[in-house]
Structure 1
Amino acid sequence: MTQRRPGRPTSTDTIELIGVRARGFHGVLPDERRDGQDFVVDVVMEVDLAPAGASDALEHTVSYAEVADDVVAVVEGPPRDLIEVVASDIAELTLRRPRVGAVEVTVHKPQAPVGHPFADVRVRIRRSRRSPVVIALGSNLGDSGTTLAEAAERITDVIEIESESPIYRTDPVGGPEQAEYLNSVVVGHTALTPWALLHELNRIEAEHGRTRDIRWGPRTLDLDIISYGAPGRPDEVVLDEPDLILPHPRAHERAFVLVPWLAADPDARLRVGEEVHRVSDLVSRCDTSGVRADGSPR
């Protein structure tokens, strides 16, 4: 397998929350744990603010009030020996917000027991998103085998691919009468937010002549985000927006997605409503007669 290049955040927009103050009991000395002291925290988040600028809608940005609540909860929470851990905990909570691509957290400890005159003690960390993601690829126009191979290579610009399925021939589902498809699935991690990833996948589709004239009609290339984040874990992203629904709302019943996905990841899991299912169980419940190994895995 060729070297895979992880996707990286592309936004340079930021939301800066500066000087959140709370009292905590972090430190290694007994009096720090007993008496506590004030901590001051700065949080700088990389967020694509273009959608919010166009819509004036809170759901298209990040609530800095909620981020401040998280900061205070961590500072006032269980004592830590090191403020490095405090900063890491804040960064982890911040990155659970799907619109945050990266975050820089600075924790100030102005009353630290240094033993000499000083202005401030601070720890600054930066953390970037690295989220599990599953992408389904499909094509039934043109040289579909070459298209899928080229698309998988282009996807390495936005996803650190860990496994790929073989190519499968599949019968079309829904839509007009059309030729059979070639389908595959890639599994990996991305540094992009769900919306940035969708934008990049749409760009790759367009490079291969994808049009959207007929719903479920034939296409040169189809790239779908099936799942983003680990199902059932804090980093899982569940969305129901006009331009993006996660997990994919019909993946659980589509053999042309499930069979390749299981081949790429035998331990795969998918959220269906309120429950998380093993993909192997979903495969056993669906009709797989229309899915056939192509015999030409990449």
Structure 2
Amino acid sequence: ADALRRAGAEHTRGTAPVAFLFPGQGTQYQGMAAGLLRTEPEFARHLDEVGALLAAEGIELRALLDTPAAEGTADPLVDTRLAQPALFAVEYALARWWQARGAHPVALLGHSLGEWTAACLAGVFTLPDAVRLVAARGRLMAELPRGAMLAVELSETEATGLTGPHLGIAALNAPRRCVLSGTEEAVRAVEARLAGRGVQTRRLDTSHAFHSAMLDPMTGPFAELVAQVPLRTPDIPFLSDVTGTWITDTEATSPAYWARQARAAVRFGDGVSELLAATPDAVLLELGPGRALGRFAAQV
């Protein structure tokens, strides 16, 4: 919280344009909003606004966001049903908090679930519709068979050479920062193969194989849900995870796009490159728990 306040003061004194970055699942943890909830009424107000909408979906998050987990206990926010709404709530409240302090973004870039926060801020979805769909997205994913994800220090070309029917590329975060996703068996096999070659790998703490073929069964039902709400062209430019470049009005207002966005590889590194090419002096503010996106952006 203190770091955010210092950065906000520095930004409001300066003139550099600002872009908001929103992380995706895997960064969340119990108690991640505790400091700001206790010290920043504007943040708390917006978080509670999202919380009231989530309560209507049967999801109660306030206590989990306000109270750190006891040492040695499991974190309930590992559950995809809770993780995605929790991240959205915190990111949305952070964005509104920054805007209230005078930070008005010229562009937005979200990573996976984070693109939903970007789209909501850009006006593609109303807040109630975004909350309802994010809750449904997490629920549909949680109902699928479990899988695994592996971060690897490889280029896109090298990572592509490892893919197959049960293993795909889930994210391209930086020139040599990729994530592979698939069945537990496929991930274990490629993990051993890369260890034999001396390639650094790291298992991600996820329950499912996000952005892989294992998500195919949920894309049709999810597209049908998105088709039930009005979609508007964005008021703030934002980058598409699917293409790695600026989202078009056609994509932003297409239910099929938002279903594909859950399945396709996240081209975050390409998005950072496009963003900095358009606004090379932009200040990139990561709005969420952790600093993963900032570290990836520094490598692009």
TM-score range (shorter-chain normalised) is under 0.3
Q: Which has the higher strand share?
A: 1
Give the TM-score normalised by structure 2.
0.23
Which of structures 1 and 2 has the larger relative contact order (alpha carbons within 8 angstroms, sep 6+)? 2
Give the TM-score normalised by structure 1.
0.23
Q: Which has the higher helix share?
A: 2
Larger Rg: 1
